[in-house]
Amino acid sequence: MNRGVSVAARPVTVTVDGQAVEVPEGSTVREACAKAGVEIPTLCFLENLTPVNVCRVCVVELEGSRALVPSCSRKVEGGMVIHTDTPRVRTSRKMVLELLASSVDLSAAGPEVAEWLAAYGAEPERYGRRAPARTARPDLGEAATVAQPPKVDNALYVRDYSRCILCYKCVEACGEDAQFTFAIAVAGRGFDAHISTEFDVPLPDSACVYCGNCVGVCPTGALMFKSEFDLRQAGAWDPARQTVTPTICPYCGVGCTLELHVQDNRIVKVTSPLDHTVSHGHLCVKGRFGFEFVQDRDPGG
C-alpha cells in the first residue's frame, strides 16, 4: 500500500519480458509488470492491504534469483530482468491454481479464477476424487479437501471455510490494515491452518464488530453476506439481474461511498470501491449492513 506522500521517488529501470520500463523506486515488480502491460494473476493481493505474498500465484522469474519471486511484494531494483511467461512460471502458477482447486470450493470466486485455471491448464482432478469432508486422514486415493459445513452464527454474514484459500486478507482487514478489531486470526498449522476466533467461539462471542470488511476483501466467497448466502441456498442468486447503485453512506459525516447491489428491488449486498480516497473500500457496520430500513416497507414489520 502506497498511501504516504512520496518525495519524488527516483526512477528505476527494469526489464519485463524484454521490455524496459521505468517505475518509481519502491514500486513492486507487479507494478512494473503492469506498467509494461503485463497483467499478473493474484489471489492474496489487494490494493488496500499489505501484501502477504502467500498464495504464490503471482510469482515471476527474476534473473539471478534461485527461486521465483512474488511480484506482489518484491520491490524493484535497478537493472532487474524479469520474465513473466517462462515454463517455470507457468508450471508454478498452474500448480498453485491446481492445488487450490483440488482442495477448496472455488465456485463462488471471481470469474477470473476460472479463466486462470483454464489458461494455465490446471487439472485439479488428477489428485483423485475429492474427500467429501475435511479430515486428518482421507481414504487412499482421495484428495484431502477443506470441505465443511458453513458457519451461520449471526444474522449479517456467513463463514463458509470450504471456500477458504487462506489468503489472510480477512485477518488483515480485521486487524492492522483496516479495522483494528482482531477478532480473527490464522490458527493451527500446515493443512490444518484455518481462520478462527479464539477457541473457535461463535462470532457473537468474539470481538467481531460486524464491519464486514473481511467480507469486502474475501476473494472466494468464503465470507458472504447472509442475504447473498440465503439467495444462493434458494437458487435465486442472480448477478445478471442485479444493478449496482453508487451512493454516499447516510450515517455520518465521513462520506464513504457505498455500492448498493440490488436484485428484485431489494439490497442484497453493499460494497465500497477500493480506490475511495476516504475509506479505501472499508466500511463500518452501519454502512455495510445497516440497510434494512430502506426495504422494510411492510407496515406489519
Partner 1 sequence: MTEHEPNRVPEATPREMAAVDAVVGPELNGAAPAAAARRMRVQLQRPYRRDLLLPALLALQQAEGWISPGGLAYLAQRLALPLAEAYGVASFYGLLALEPEPPTVLHVCDDVACQTAGAMELCQTLERVLGPAGSAPESSEVGWHRSPCLGRCAEGPAVYVQRLGAAGGGARWDAAQTAEEWLQAVATGMAVTSAVPIRRRPGLPQPLTGRIGRIPPDSLDAYRRHGGYQALRRALALGREGVLREIAAARLVGRGGAGFPTAAKWEAVAKSPEPVRYLVVNADESEPGTFKDRALLEGDPFAIVEGATIAAWVIGAHRVYVFVRGEYPEARRSLEAAIAQARAHGYLGATIMDEPYPLEIEVRSGAGAYICGEETALFNAIEGKRGEPRNKPPFPTVHGLFGKPTVVNNVETIANVPVVLNLGAAAYRDLGSAGGSGTRLFCVSGQVMAPGLVEVPIGTPLKEVVAIAGGLRPGRELRAVLLGGAAGTFVGPEAWDMALDPEVVRARGATLGSGVVVVFDDTADLGAIVRRIARFFREESCGQCVPCRLGTVRQLELVERLEAGRPLGSLEQERALHRDLVQVMRDASICGLGQTAANAVASALALGLVGEGSRGQ
Q: Which residues bind partner 1 (CB under 8 A)?
A: 53-57, 59, 67-68, 70, 73-74, 88, 91-92, 94-96, 99-100, 102-103, 126-128, 138, 140-144, 165-166, 175, 181-193, 196-199, 201, 204-209, 284-285
Residue of 49, 99, 109, 93 lying closest to 73 (CA atoms)? 49
Q: Which is nearer to partner 1, 114 or 185 (CB)?
A: 185
Closest approach, Cβ 166 to partner 1, in A, equals 7
DSSP codes of every residue in 105-147: --TTS-HHHHHHHHHTT--GGGG-EEPSS--SSPPTTEEP---
Sign of CA dihedral 22, 23, 26, 29: negative
Q: Residue 262 belongs to what H/E stretch? A: strand 257-263
Closest approach, Cβ 132 to partner 1, in A, equals 15
In the three-class reduction of DSSP (H, G, I as helix; E, B as strand; rest coil), residue 245 is classed as strand
Q: Which is nearer to partner 1, 157 or 237 (CB)?
A: 157
Q: Residue 94 belongs to what H/E stretch? A: helix 87-103
Per the CB < 8 A criterion, the answer to whether 219 and 170 are in contact is no
Closest approach, Cβ 193 to partner 1, in A, equals 3
Q: Which is nearer to partner 1, 93 or 269 (CB)?
A: 93
Q: Which is nearer to partner 1, 240 or 293 (CB)?
A: 293
Distance CA 90, CA 167 (A): 20
Closest approach, Cβ 91 to partner 1, in A, equals 5
In the three-class reduction of DSSP (H, G, I as helix; E, B as strand; rest coil), residue 3 is classed as coil
Closest approach, Cβ 168 to partner 1, in A, equals 8
Q: Which is nearer to partner 1, 16 or 184 (CB)?
A: 184
Distance CA 143, CA 221 (A): 22
Q: Which is nearer to partner 1, 51 or 231 (CB)?
A: 51
Closest approach, Cβ 105 to partner 1, in A, equals 14
